[in-house]
Amino acid sequence: MNIFYHESSGTFHLQNDFISYIIKRLPNGQLGQLYFGKAIRDRESFDHLVEMNHRPMTAYVFEGNKKFSLDHIKQEYPSYGTTDFRHPAVEIVQPNGSRITDFVYVSHTISAGKPKLENLPATYTEQDDEAQTITFLLHDGLLDVDLELNYTLFADKPALARSARFINKGSLDLHLTHAMSLSLDLPDCDYEFVHFSGAWSRERHMKVRKLEMGIQSVESTRGTSSHNHNPFVVLKRPETTEFSGEAIGFSLVYSGNFLAQAEVDTWGTTRLTMGINPFQFDWKLTPGESFQTPEAVMVYSTTGLNGMSQVYHKLYQKRLARGYWRDRPRPILINNWEATYFDFTEDKLVTIAEAAKNDGVELFVLDDGWFGARCNDFAGLGDWVANTDRLARGITGLAERIDALGMKFGLWFEPEMVNMDSDLFRAHPDWRICTPNRRVSHGRNQYVLDYSRKEVVDYIYGMMAKILSEAKVSYIKWDMNRCITEAFSAALPADQQGELFHRYILGVYDLYDRLTTNFPQVLFESCASGGGRFDPGLLYYAPQGWASDDSDAIERLKIQYGTSMCYPISSIGAHVSVVPNHQVFRVTPIATRANVAHFGTFGYELDLNKLTEEERKQVREQIKFMKKYREVIQFGTFYRLISPFDNANFTAWMVVSEDQKTALVGYYKILNEVNGPYHRVKLCGLNPDMQYTVDGDASHYGDELMNLGLLTTDGAAGELTPEDRKSVDFDSRIFVLHAQ
């Protein structure tokens, strides 16, 4: 890894074994982008890569240089309106109404490691030799504003983290309306734009569309990163597959409103910008103040989508997630939500926990309904004090009973919300987000607390910290069940209302930060009506997230496949629930429900007492299996093999241990076939020279399993299950491979 600076040509070359990223000081003093891709050798000058010529009939040239127009120059952090007509990375509204800026290079510093971002989640290094950071200082002389552009190159990965920081050194009140985390200009547009979109209960479905001239984008305007779109997109070549070809991932470490936009101009270049959504964003930058953008992480792969995902998995697992649970296999849990909803007593909960303990579950999680007047979803949010009608000795009493069973205890909170029927709302009606004299929309009968106000965060922290200090709580599920409407803060002046969405998320991060700092051994699982805020920002605090409220095994194939594009298996909350399933009413075998949930953090969302003895036997086996293999599943190398988005009837994926001696292949069939063909799946990541047994039987060399494939059905009956029964619809199997 090295960051070269060639003074004679004003060129910076960020290079490691995998990638090169080349920047140049342009004749106008701004920074130009010359190359991002597979590593190339360094040289003194790459000036021949600057595409300067202005086009016929394009009269827009910089004064004094007829050969220089930003109209088609690739830039690092572009602004609009000085011969570039594409969407910018930066826009600042000035007291006289002008939005024109001119940030020119002043200096740069290169340092080992990676500096922390102020009040924001970000990737990090533990040793200085893991990464190098270059910070460019740019300056707009008229406004007297500094702009720092930060680039961190990781030593052992094709990954680059970027962010920007503005410092108002002058005397003007300025308004930042665009402050993107990254802008990347690519020399062509032969890409497909891949995004992960959906809605509640069908999050992160993979969508692929060809880039065309004009703008294509995904965004959130809801105050959360959202169920609808994820702050992660990929530009891939049309021929790129899961296993080969070029792909560039763009991931924003942020949990609020975002924009990921690809703009193709009419000369066939592509500009990818990513950051806080400029829509509704307006940050007042007063003299002496600074503004730090969130971080965006780009990964470049020549080994297809799997290669790209594996880089994100390792980076986010080891250098974004933090703390006690980062490297630890996750406890197998039981959650009472789908088992009881609001209808529970303490004894009923303990009965559920007892059965779970008996079968090997390690953690009991009490979901919604334990606090205040919360017997349905009309009341109680905001009052984080146990309801003693339900729990006679409060959370402490229940936690002791669970502890006496030999289980850990976990608790649900929805700390950002308030019901009108709550003591909190009665005491502080102005703490909810709403616009004065306008109708206030509720979502699930609840309102969003104004987390841009420190006193609100302080108050909620106080209530949560009290419970965590008094009771033995090892796990918190942090839920968030509506998005923000009528955005307005009673605490902000008129010219700062455009800051609310970002200040809200900073408040959420602040609460997470205080809780994780003061209760470092508590495992946090993020949640937002399932996967409504499944993003890298929250992974920094909560190493796992409930991926979706849809717990149907077949629906989960797409959700977990799409989620795995960016997020590691150790972060994907996945549970076995009852049938008929509560979301889609489908009946699937309990083996398949577990075979899908095994590729996640694993747990149960039902009352085991209600299962048959045969099902309980299977549950005990599933838990034993998970305990044996969770280290490999959650921390091994994950490969997607057959996509549910491409193949209507089969899905397959696998994990391989670091020493390549253990591999688990998950194979899932939707509908049964009659007299079907033999099916094989080509495996990945094995050692070609090792001999592997499959489910303890006959051995095959790794090269055979990777090049010819693993036989997954026997052809005649389409048999999948190892047990003595006929294959059924929604059947599945996990093949266990061991090298001798």
**What are the residue numbers of the active site?**
479, 549
Q: Are 423 and 394 in contact, with CB atoms under 8 Å apart?
A: no
Between CA 321 and CA 540 the distance in angstroms is 4
Q: Interacting stretch for ligand DGJ, rule CB under 6 A, among 153-161, 247-255, 504-512, 524-532?
A: 524-532
Site string for ligand DGJ, 395-414 (x = CB under 6 A): -----------------x--
Radius of gyration (C-alpha) of the chain in whole angstroms: 27
Contact flags string 481-500 toward ligand DGJ, x per CB under 6 A: x-------------------
- 509: which 2 tokens? 């991060």
Supply the minimum distance, in Å, between the C-beta of residue 367 and ligand DGJ.
5
Measured between alpha carbons, how far is 689 from 239 in angstroms, rounded to an integer? 30
What minimum distance in Å lies between the beta carbon of 338 and ligand DGJ?
A: 8
Query: Is residue 529 a contact residue for ligand DGJ (CB under 6 A)?
Result: yes
Which residue's Cβ lies closest to ligand DGJ? 368
- Long-range contacts of range 210-215, CB-CB < 8 Å, 24 or more positions apart? 210/238, 211/235, 211/262, 211/264, 211/270, 212/264, 213/189, 213/264, 213/265, 213/266, 213/268, 214/263, 214/264, 215/87, 215/261, 215/262, 215/263, 215/264
Rounded (5°) CA angle 141-149-247: 140
Task: Name the segment binding ligand DGJ (CB under 6 A); options: 201-209, 499-507, 527-535, 702-710.
Answer: 527-535
Q: Does 191 bind ligand DGJ (CB under 6 A)?
A: no
368 vs 499, which CB is nearer to ligand DGJ? 368
Binder of ligand DGJ out of 35, 337, 638, 650 (CB under 6 A): 337
Task: Give the C-alpha separation, 271 to 274, whole Å.
Answer: 10
CA distance 380 to 418: 7
- Measured from the CB atom, is 94 or 445 closer to ligand DGJ? 445
Contact 250, 274 (CB under 8 A): yes
Residue 130 in the binding site for ligand DGJ (CB under 6 A): no
Q: Are 260 and 218 in contact (CB under 8 A)?
A: yes
Considering only residues 263, 362, 479, 535, which one is a binding residue for ligand DGJ as defined by CB under 6 A? 479
Q: How many residues bind to ligand DGJ according to rule CB under 6 A?
A: 11
Written as six digits, the tokens of 530 are 């399932």
Q: Which stretch binds ligand DGJ (CB under 6 A): 198-206, 293-301, 461-469, 526-534?
A: 526-534
Q: List the structure tokens of 277.
A: 């959504």
Instruction: Check: CB of residue 244 under 8 Å from CB of residue 305.
Output: no
Q: Is 552 in the site for ligand DGJ (CB under 6 A)?
A: no
Distance of CA 40 to the CA centre of its chain: 31
Residue number, 15 or 529, with CB nearest to ligand DGJ: 529
Which listed range, 45-53, 246-254, 523-531, 712-720, lies at the site for ligand DGJ (CB under 6 A)? Answer: 523-531
**Nearest distance in Å: CB 438, ligand DGJ:** 27
550 binds ligand DGJ (CB under 6 A): no
283, 384, 475, 546: which one binds ligand DGJ (CB under 6 A): 546
Could you say which residues in the range 340-379 bind ligand DGJ, by CB under 6 A? 367-368
Is residue 527 near ligand DGJ by the rule CB under 6 A?
yes
- Confirm or reject binding of residue 653 to ligand DGJ (CB under 6 A): no
* Phi, psi for 108 (deg, rounded to 5): -145, 155
Please give the Cα distance from 302 to 690 (Å, whole number).
26
Binding site for ligand DGJ (CB under 6 A): 337, 367-368, 412, 479, 481, 527, 529-530, 546, 549
